[in-house]
Amino acid sequence: MMPDFLSWLLIFPILIVIVCVHEFGHFITAKFFGMRVEEFGVGFPPRIFGKRLGGTIYSINLIPLGGFVKLSDPKDPEDYTSFENRHFLERLLVLIAGSVMNLFFAILIFTIIFMLPHARMIGGDIVVNGLVPNSPADIAGIRVGDQIVALNENRFDSFKTSEVRLVN
Q: Residues 40-89: pLDDT tens digits?
A: 999 999 999 999 999 999 999 999 889 999 998 777 778 888 998 999 99
For residue 138, what are the contacts with CB-CB under 8 A and spacing of at least 6?
131, 132
- Average predicted confidence (pLDDT) for the chain: 85
Residues 152 and 84 in one domain: no
Find the length of the chain: 168
CB-CB contact of 94 with 33 (8 Å)? yes
Q: Are residues 93 and 13 in the same domain?
A: yes
Specify whether 89 is located in the same domain as 150.
Answer: no
| Same-domain status, 161 and 82 | no
Answer yes or no: do 28 and 47 share one domain. yes
State the sign of the Cα–Cα–Cα–Cα dihedral 41, 45, 49, 50.
positive
Structural domain boundaries enclosing 146: 120-167
* Vertex 48 angle, CA 57 and 53, to 5°: 20
Catalytic positions, please? Answer: 23
Same domain, 108 and 126: no
* Number of structural domains found in the chain: 2
| Cβ contacts of 110 within 8 Å, gap of 6 or more | none
How many alpha carbons fall within 13 Å on the CB side of residue 116?
A: 8
- Cis check for the bond before 3: say yes or no (omega within 30 of 0): no
Q: Looking at per-residue confidence, does 15 or 116 come out higher? A: 15
Q: Are residues 99 and 136 in the same domain?
A: no
Is 164 or 56 the better-scoring residue by pLDDT? 56
Last residue of a domain, one of 78, 98, 115: 115
Residue 129 and residue 106 in one domain: no
